[in-house]
């Protein structure tokens, strides 16, 4: 074990390619500007059919792929679905699951928690929004000889990538909805993804419809005191 670190020459440090060089004042300004931008993001359930160029989706996925992740395995796959007959199937399959969920599978407490959001089993946007991005988590990789390769911190890695994806799409000016029908096994077949990949969420992407609304509840964000504690320092 003691030779373990010395025998390997795969670690090759290179100089940090980019670094920010802002004053504290500039950083605070940038932090404020970014906060104001992100405060404008809302999960949207009413999408217009207005087309969205594929190039924006591609760039947002490249951005998501910059996420920090376990051992740089980048254990994700983004299956992008534009218009096509498969959209009707996804909508039907997801609504079938959701009907059971809302009919009782969720349990009383969960359904009560959802009441202020006004959600229901109808998911027309799965058919009508211009793009769906189905995010798959690669539970393990497969080597050239078909052997399993372990991935690390997969849910954490893919979760961060999804956060960056939603942020990138919002920054571009698009609306998103993170949808997590469960179970979601049908998505592997529809998207042609292998068994070692697990669907984590569908990110619905498009423009909001003219009459789009959000639940008032969504405007309520916890205060800094509620979500953060500072144990040392006072600047
Ligand atoms: N997947 C269901 C229910 C749902 C669950 C949570 I947690 C939400 O924040 C919103 C909805 C649906 O999409 O309706």
pLDDT tens, residue by residue, 83-135: 999 999 999 999 999 999 999 999 999 999 999 999 999 999 999 999 999 99
Per-residue model confidence (pLDDT) at position 183: 78
Q: Atom 5 (ligand 1): residue with closest C-alpha?
A: 114
Q: Which atom of ligand 1 is nearest to the CA of 121?
A: 14
Better pLDDT: 232 or 204: 204
From the alpha carbon of 180, which atom of ligand 1 is closest? 1
Tell me the CA end-to-end span of the chain in Å, nearest whole number. 45
Quote the percentage of the chain above a pLDDT of 70. Answer: 97
Q: Ligand 1 centre and the CA of 118: distance in Å? A: 10
CA 94 to ligand 1 center in whole angstroms: 12
Q: Where are the alpha helices (DSSP H) in 73-227?
A: 85-100, 108-114, 125-128, 154-172, 186-191, 224-227
Atom index in ligand 1 nearest the CA of residue 179 equals 13
Residue 149 CA to ligand 1 center (angstroms) comes to 33
Give CA–CA dist 185/21, Å, rounded: 46
Q: How many residues does the chain have?
A: 235
Per-residue confidence (pLDDT) for residue 2, from 0 to 100: 58
111 CA to middle of ligand 1, Å? 9
Q: Each residue of 44-71: pLDDT tens digit?
A: 999 999 999 999 999 999 999 999 999 9
Instruction: Give the pLDDT score at 47.
Output: 98
> CB–CB of 135/203 below 8 Å?
yes
pLDDT (0 to 100) of residue 182: 73
Kindly report the average pLDDT of the chain as a whole number.
95
Q: 43-209: what fold? A: NADH Oxidase (3.40.109)
Nearest to 177 by CA among 233, 130, 136: 130
| Closest atom of ligand 1 to CA, residue 106 | 3
By DSSP bridging, strand 140-142 and strand 131-138 are unpaired
Which pLDDT score is estimated for 5?
67
The C-alpha atoms of residue 154 and residue 163 are separated, in whole angstroms, by: 14
Q: How far is the CA of 180 from the centre of ligand 1 (A)?
A: 7
Please give the DSSP secondary-structure letter assigned to residue 131.
Answer: E
Packing angle, helices 154-172 and 24-39, rounded to 10: 90
Per-residue pLDDT reduced to its tens digit, 132-189: 999 999 999 999 999 999 999 999 999 999 999 999 999 999 999 999 877 788 999 9
Strands ordered across the beta sheet of 131-138: 76-81, 131-138, 197-206, 175-179
Spatial contact of 64 and 162, defined as CB atoms under 8 Å apart: yes
Residue 1 confidence class, pLDDT cut points 50, 70, 90: low
- Residues 8, 18, 78, 94, CA torsion sign: positive
Residues 6+ apart with CB under 8 A from 209: 46, 47, 48
Going by alpha carbons, the residue nearest to atom 9 of ligand 1 is 114
CA of 68 to the centre of ligand 1 (A): 27
pLDDT at position 185: 85
């Amino acid at each position: 074990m003691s030779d373990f670190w010395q025998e390997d020459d795969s670690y090759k440090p290179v100089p940090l390619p980019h670094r920010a060089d802002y004053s504290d004042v500039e950083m605070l300004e940038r932090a404020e500007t970014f906060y104001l931008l992100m405060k404008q993001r809302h999960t949207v359930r009413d999408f217009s059919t207005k087309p969205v160029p594929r190039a924006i989706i591609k760039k947002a996925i490249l951005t998501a792929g910059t996420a920090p992740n376990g051992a740089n395995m980048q254990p994700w796959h983004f299956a992008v679905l534009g218009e096509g007959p498969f959209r009707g199937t996804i909508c039907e399959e997801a609504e079938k699951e959701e009907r059971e969920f809302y009919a009782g599978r969720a349990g009383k407490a969960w359904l009560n928690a959802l009441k202020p959001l006004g959600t229901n089993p109808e998911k027309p946007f799965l058919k009508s929004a211009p793009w769906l991005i189905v995010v798959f988590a690669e539970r393990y990789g497969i080597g050239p000889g078909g052997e399993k390769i372990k991935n690390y911190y997969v849910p954490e890695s893919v979760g961060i990538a999804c956060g960056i994806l939603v942020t990138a799409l919002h920054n571009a000016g698009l609306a998103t909805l993170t949808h997590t029908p469960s179970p979601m096994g049908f998505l592997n077949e529809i998207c042609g993804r292998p068994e070692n990949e697990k669907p984590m969420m569908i990110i619905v992407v498009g423009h909001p419809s003219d009459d789009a609304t959000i639940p008032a509840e969504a405007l309520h964000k916890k205060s800094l005191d509620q979500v953060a504690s500072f144990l040392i320092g006072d600047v």
